[in-house]
Amino acid sequence: MNDATYRLGDERDRLDERLDELAERASEADSDHARQGIWQIARQVEDRLDGVQYLIDEYSADATVTVQPLTAGETARIEDSMADLQRRSDHSAGGLPGTRRNHDAAAALVDAPFLDDVDADDLDDCLPVVADLPTQAVKWLRARADDLSGIDEGNSKSFDERVAAQGSSTT
């Protein structure tokens, strides 16, 4: 599992292409249920695209962000921090999903133009910076960390590949 550096302009283009693919799939979907599922995915991609566009507007299309995968140790540290936070607050029902998203994104950051003088290795230093970003930018950061954290790359077909294979076998 390696870090990855993303040029924001390239990420904008990748997400924009993904939306085009989803629009095509939605227009070809043979049921309302299938279309609704595609629309739900498209809304997530739109959120991430909005987050990347915000970062481009603030830092330029040539700016880069480096993200690392979350290891089991890092995830455990985040879970412990979340449990401590929940004990100290009155969030007994439903957990703290927004806070968890911020923790995941902050833990995954290695380098970004918005980190300035913040030590990216120090979660407590990084969290306030991430918390000041728009939600869509944090969702994009977390999604990139999730992508890097997967261990099945090359070991099996992704769900997207399976869906594409089903679509081509029916035509």
- Give the pLDDT confidence of 79-118 residue by residue, as tens digits: 887 777 777 766 554 455 668 889 899 999 999 999 988 8
* Domain around 20: 4-169
pLDDT digits (tens, 9 = 90+) for 42-60: 999 999 999 999 999 999 9
With 0.85 as the threshold, say if the pTM is over it. no
Predicted pLDDT at 122:
87
Q: What percent of the chain has pLDDT over 90?
A: 52
Residue 154: pLDDT band (50, 70, 90) is low
Backbone Cα Rg of the chain: 18
Cα dihedral sign, 16-11-156-67: negative
Q: Which two tokens stand for residue 134?
A: 């728009």
Domain count, the chain: 1
